[in-house]
């Protein structure tokens, strides 16, 4: 994957959009999985406890997506 660096001169949302554009070139299914779960993280809360809760919700959604994708691929075999 080409190197990606967040640009401090643009918004977080625009940086994330650019990251996902690059990610789709590498693995569209994985990019779609992260895109479908990102709403659990953005906007990231200010307080650390709320950030942890947001990260946990995002991680759980991604893991569920991984499991579903894995099951789908196994059933195709």
**pLDDT beyond 70 at 16:** yes
> Cα–Cα distances in Å, from 31 out to 3, 9, 20, 45, 59?
16, 24, 6, 23, 14
Q: Is the dihedral of CA 24, 21, 52, 43 positive or negative?
A: negative
| Band of residue 24 on the pLDDT scale cut at 50, 70, 90 | very high
pLDDT at residue 3, as a whole number: 79
Helix (H, G, I), strand (E, B) or coil at 8: coil
Mean pLDDT for 21-28 is: 91
Mean pLDDT for 21-35 is: 90
**pLDDT beyond 70 at 8:** yes
Helices (H), the chain: 12-26, 28-37, 48-76
Predicted structure pTM score: 0.64
């Amino acid at each position: 994957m080409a190197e990606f660096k967040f640009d401090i001169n643009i918004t977080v949302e625009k940086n994330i959009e650019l990251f996902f554009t690059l990610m789709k070139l590498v693995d569209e299914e994985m990019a779609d999985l992260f895109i479908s779960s990102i709403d659990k993280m953005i906007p990231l809360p200010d307080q650390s406890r709320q950030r942890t809760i947001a990260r946990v919700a995002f991680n759980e959604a991604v893991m569920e997506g991984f499991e579903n994708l894995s099951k789908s691929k196994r059933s195709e075999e």
